[in-house]
């Protein structure tokens, strides 16, 4: 019996955690299957029964040597994977468009970071593919590097097929659906982490850590046990089990979904542009050559069509489609794109500056002694916090990076155009946290 079936057939009275006791008088949705590690329901930290069965399904789907459930999202998996591969103080090569969780792992381990940059779309303002030559050059210049960490696919759906002789960790949070019919192949690396909840039918916070190099299985397990809660949610794990069964038994549905996405891309537009990328389910709708900003475009979708985009940037919005979309929803989107486009005017695109990147090695650190500084007076000082657009949580500047005029202008322009720019101190747009005296 699988986890889902066992949870549907609980027949014991709970003189155990959690405190709601599966009593429906509290009106807590999902509480009827919210249990702890009682007899017969296995243990995520030492799986040998129904949870092991679910992890074996993930292993089958992603063709890994071992797959680990994460109920702490891809972020927890990235922390565990980085700790499994690197020792404190190591040098690591990191793609600049990595998620904040990668930066957090590097900071905790005091890693010496060498940033590398993927290609950048200056018209729309996002990173695209990371080139093999860029990786080769970085490894050649830094033979002491112990690992490389990249994002593939990116938030906007761009793949980077990278090969290297040092351990490769891939943040494929947005690629859980890869490997399904007609979609790109699942990324190839030593460890690849994906968020099931982002692009497959599973609840928020569910993810998988796929280990392909057997050398790291035990270490990943050790650090998953450290970074993952000792009270994993059975509601979340149940959704993973259901997701696995859907993927294994309904692969033909992905082919049908792909065909619907192809049809969506046939909509003819004059001003709005659906951008090319590697993942057809990531619909990047550019308004760079129109008379409105991404923020204004998103508001039209919300107010006139009750469509909520995934993300908003200066010159585009991101709309995510998944196997969970209905025909009605996709038809509405197609209609909205066509109608909105017909009401817009052409305007020459204003290019977006690429965020500056720290050169040389850097160790990220947060000091206890810090000063809030007026943003206009912060140029030349050293940041003591992360500043990033949320989503997707890719840092614009990190702790220990020097604040430049280019960084400040980038932040100001993004905020002015309605992009959700936030900082750890929550003091933007007026102030930024800097290291005392620096």
- 290: CATH: 3.90.1150.10
Over residues 16-30, mean pLDDT: 97
Q: What is the pLDDT of residue 438?
A: 67
pTM of the model: 0.96
Contact 178, 63 (CB under 8 A): no
Residues 35 and 131 in one domain: yes
Residues 106 and 155 in one domain: yes
Q: What is the pLDDT of residue 185?
A: 98
Over residues 415-421, mean pLDDT: 92
Residue ending a domain, choose from 216, 249, 282: 249
Domain range holding 37?
3-249
Residues 241 and 282 in one domain: no
Output the domain CATH number for residue 73: 3.40.640.10
What is the per-residue pLDDT across 113-152, written as a single tens digit (0 to 9) for each? 999 999 999 999 999 999 999 999 999 999 999 999 999 9
Over residues 303-314, mean pLDDT: 97
Over residues 171-176, mean pLDDT: 98
Residues 96 and 175 in one domain: yes
Place of tokens 């614009």: 396
Share of the chain above pLDDT 70, in %: 100
Contact 372, 366 (CB under 8 A): no
Best CA proximity match to 355, nearest among 394, 308, 399, 328: 394
Over residues 283-308, mean pLDDT: 98
Contacts (Cβ under 8 Å, ≥6 apart) of 9:
none
Asked, for residue 330, whether it belongs to a domain, the answer is yes
Residues 145 and 266 in one domain: no
Residue ending a domain, choose from 226, 249, 272: 249
Residues 256 and 243 in one domain: no
Q: Average pLDDT, whole number, for the chain?
A: 96
Residue 355 has pLDDT above 90, yes or no: no
Q: What is the pLDDT of residue 1?
A: 78
CB atoms within 10 A of CB 47: 16
Residue 99 has pLDDT above 90, yes or no: yes
Total domains in the chain come to 3
Q: What is the pLDDT of residue 247?
A: 98
**What is the distance of C-alpha 18 from the center of its chain?**
30
Residue 397 has pLDDT above 70, yes or no: yes
Residues 220 and 128 in one domain: yes
Residues 301 and 413 in one domain: no
Residue 244 has pLDDT above 80, yes or no: yes
Residues 191 and 265 in one domain: no
Token couple for 341 = 């486009």
Over residues 275-294, mean pLDDT: 97
Q: What is the pLDDT of residue 356?
A: 85
Residues 192 and 290 in one domain: no
Residues 88 and 31 in one domain: yes
Contacts (Cβ under 8 Å, ≥6 apart) of 350:
288, 315
Share of the chain above pLDDT 90, in %: 96
Asked, for residue 277, whether it belongs to a domain, the answer is yes
More confident site: 155 or 417: 155
Residues 104 and 197 in one domain: yes
């Amino acid at each position: 019996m699988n986890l889902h079936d066992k949870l549907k057939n609980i027949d014991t009275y709970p003189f155990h955690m959690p405190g709601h006791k599966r009593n429906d008088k509290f009106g807590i949705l999902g509480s009827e299957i919210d249990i702890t590690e009682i007899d017969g329901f296995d243990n995520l930290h030492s799986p040998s029964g129904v949870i092991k069965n679910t992890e074996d399904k993930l292993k089958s789907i992603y063709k890994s040597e071992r797959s680990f459930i994460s109920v702490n999202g891809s972020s927890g998996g990235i922390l565990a994977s980085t700790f499994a591969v690197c020792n404190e103080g190591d040098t690591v090569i990191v793609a600049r468009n990595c998620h904040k969780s990668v930066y957090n792992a590097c900071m905790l381990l005091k890693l010496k970071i060498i940033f590398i940059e993927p290609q950048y779309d200056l018209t729309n303002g996002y990173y695209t593919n990371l080139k093999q030559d860029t990786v080769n050059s970085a490894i050649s210049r830094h033979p002491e590097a112990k690992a490389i960490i990249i994002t593939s696919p990116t938030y906007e759906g761009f793949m980077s097929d990278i090969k290297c002789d040092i351990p490769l960790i891939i943040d494929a949070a947005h690629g859980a659906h890869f490997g399904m019919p007609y979609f790109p192949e699942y990324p190839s690396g030593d460890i690849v982490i994906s968020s099931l909840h982002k692009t497959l039918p599973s609840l928020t916070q569910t993810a998988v850590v796929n280990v392909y190099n057997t050398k790291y299985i035990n270490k990943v397990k050790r650090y998953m046990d450290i970074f993952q809660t000792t009270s994993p949610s059975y509601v979340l794990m149940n959704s993973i089990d259901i997701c696995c069964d859907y993927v294994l038994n309904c692969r033909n549905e992905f082919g049908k979904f792909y065909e619907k996405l192809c049809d969506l891309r046939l909509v003819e537009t004059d001003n709005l542009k659906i951008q090319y990328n590697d993942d057809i389910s990531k619909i990047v709708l550019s308004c760079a050559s129109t008379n409105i900003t991404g923020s204004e475009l998103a508001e039209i979708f919300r107010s006139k069509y009750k469509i909520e985009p995934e993300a908003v940037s200066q010159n585009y919005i991101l709309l995510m489609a998944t196997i969970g979309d209905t025909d009605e929803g996709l038809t509405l989107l197609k209609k909205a794109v066509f109608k909105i486009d017909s009401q817009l005017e052409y305007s020459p695109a204003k290019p977006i500056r690429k965020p500056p990147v720290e050169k040389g090695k850097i160790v990220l650190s947060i000091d206890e002694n810090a000063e809030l500084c007026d943003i206009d007076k912060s140029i030349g000082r050293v940041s003591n916090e992360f500043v990033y657009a949320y989503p997707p949580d890719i840092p614009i500047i990190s702790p220990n990076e020097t604040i430049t005029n280019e960084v400040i202008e980038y932040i100001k322009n993004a905020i002015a155009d309605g992009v959700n720019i936030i900082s750890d101190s929550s003091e933007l747009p007026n102030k930024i946290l800097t290291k005392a005296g620096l």
